[in-house]
Amino acid sequence: MIKGNNIVTGVGSYLPERVVTNDELARKIDTSDEWIKERSGIRQRHIAAEGEYTSDLGVAAARRAIEDANMSVNDLDLIIVATTTPDLTFPSTASIIQEKLEMRHGAAFDIQAVCSGFIYALHIADSMLRAGPYKNALVIGAETFSRILDWEDRSTCVLFGDGAGAMVLSTANDSDSGIIANFIRSDGRYCDLLYVDGGPSRTQSVGHVRMVGNQVFRRAVKDIAIAMKECAAIAGIEPKDIDWFVPHQANQRILDGVGRQLGLTSEQIISTVAHHANTSAASVPLAFDVAMRDGRIKRGDLVMLEAFGGGFTWGATLLRF
């Protein structure tokens, strides 16, 4: 058995109530259910209600993860939130979530690596738990991505949705489970292929998502496969040796392409892209939670998480659940 240190003690997720189907979008913009399904695998997405913020989604997912860990807020000492759609420019969404959870101790901060945010946040939490003195970190990926979409740009607005996922990561000595390997990368040369055209310093506005989808697609398949191989190599295994692959849910064709390159079966790949669309930093913990609660991912299973996003940023995490 491969040894791990910090273990995932709880998982939870939350999706806003409102579901928007492809057909509903096709009534407003020049697209079709057939095009969206064929090119991306997406059938529907959840969209946050007016007055429902990223912190609200994050809190709901966090409460479920804390309950799943059999803990209370008092047991936590760290909150890390991965988001590209913070409630406000500042304070951090993590600070707002800390307040909503009535947590009166510990530290809370946001990290920004777009769709790879949860993988980056897990790596940071894992490192901080190893360094001490922290014992239980709440790691959240939460997004209201619908708020930064240009709803007249059919090449982007059909691809994204809102949601949140969370994990509690805890120190554990002599555990056979836990995080085995982390791998993160970025390459700033590709900023122009996937970005938001606004921000506090440059435009004093929030801006909208812009993406050259087909070029992002090609890089994503290649870099995700490399990240998974690097992560597996750290642990001395082959990617196909894992029980489950929990990828960032951007496009079913990306998942199939990566699966083919690495010799994974379609049964090993957890896919929620049809129902959630791309929820950016929330997509990996959301998919993990779905597969844990429906009984596929079980304690003791070897799981590879992976993400790719704006920056470009990408990475993978190997863990024994």
Known catalytic residues are 115, 248, 278
Exposure on the CB side of residue 193, measured as CA atoms within 13 A: 18
**Closer CB to ligand ACO, residue 101 or residue 273?**
273
Cis upstream peptide for 90 (omega within 30°): no
Does position 280 bind ligand ACO by CB under 6 A? yes
Identity of the residue, 227 or 254, whose beta carbon is nearer to ligand ACO in the bound complex: 254
Q: How many residues bind ligand ACO (CB under 6 A)?
A: 25
155 binds ligand ACO (CB under 6 A): yes
Span from 44-52, 90-98, 151-159, 238-246 in contact with ligand ACO (CB under 6 A): 151-159
Question: In the block, which residue shows the tokens 């897990």?
Answer: 122
Q: Beta partners for 260?
A: none
194 makes contact with ligand ACO (CB under 6 A)? yes
Smallest separation (angstroms) from ligand ACO to the CB of 84:
7
Tell whether residue 277 is a contact of ligand ACO (CB under 6 A).
Answer: no
Q: Indicate the residue type of 158.
A: V
Stretch touching ligand ACO by CB under 6 A, among 49-57, 234-242, 246-254, 259-267: 246-254
Main-chain phi, psi angles of 8, to 5 degrees: -80, 110
Indicate whether 213 belongs to the interface with ligand ACO (CB under 6 A).
Answer: yes
In the complex, minimum distance from the CB of residue 132 to ligand ACO, in angstroms, rounded to a whole number = 33
Residue 115 in contact with ligand ACO, rule: CB under 6 A:
yes
Binder among 144, 251, 271, 272 for ligand ACO (CB under 6 A): 251
Stretch that binds ligand ACO, among 48-56, 122-130, 200-208, 248-256 (CB under 6 A): 248-256
| CB of 321 closer than 8 Å to CB of 288 | no
Q: How far is the CB of 116 from ligand ACO (least distance, A)?
A: 7
Binding piece for ligand ACO, criterion CB under 6 A, among 133-141, 185-193, 216-224, 234-242: 216-224
Cα dihedral value 10, 15, 17, 21, nearest 10:
-150
Which one of 134, 217, 245, 288 is in contact with ligand ACO (CB under 6 A)? 217
CB of 197 to ligand ACO, least distance (A): 13
Which of 250, 277, 297, 305 binds ligand ACO (CB under 6 A)? It is 250
309 half-sphere exposure, CB direction, 13 A CA radius:
31
Torsion of CA 70, 74, 78, 81, to 10 degrees: 70
Distance CA(255)–CA(309), nearest Å, equals: 14
Binding site for ligand ACO (CB under 6 A): 31, 35-36, 39-40, 114-115, 154-155, 158-159, 194, 213-214, 216-217, 220, 250-251, 254, 278, 280, 308-310
